[in-house]
Chain A
């Protein structure tokens, strides 16, 4: 059974870069059957898709975040990562990594707070 686990700082200063890593266990991120993504959840915006990366390294980003987002794969560690630049308080949310198979299968989530 494939499992996902988010990791990274829980507090980020305004204007800095949010960096999170998702570690995948029980399966390979190079599987062509799956894609990998980041989703965040806040009371203000609900569930918001951030972006998707495929085994080939091809990415797709939410247009509203595209200018600030980078998602990348590290096949040597079976991880994928999120970077979100120039964060503000509006980026405070629970961040989830997820695998798209038949539907979405989620990591446990991680609260990231943007505050000075």
Chain B
């Protein structure tokens, strides 16, 4: 069946460095993706989204890149801070919302 998955389950980054979290999807018809951040004990929080008519979208310290050719998207966090420590999920919203397996980001002070 269709799936959305992540390459790395855990990512450790030094404070101040940039973080890159990757996600692969398999449904070529998927046209809208969301990145969520989930801190311990909380529900997922929207970070940024991207539609399939775009290759790149920037927010505050975050950038999402979409490569439809290889069905891959990534979340880039600039100048990673301790408050960025969380689990990050990509989500594919085609027909229903399907979350990827998640990447735990650990920021080393």
Partners in one complex: no
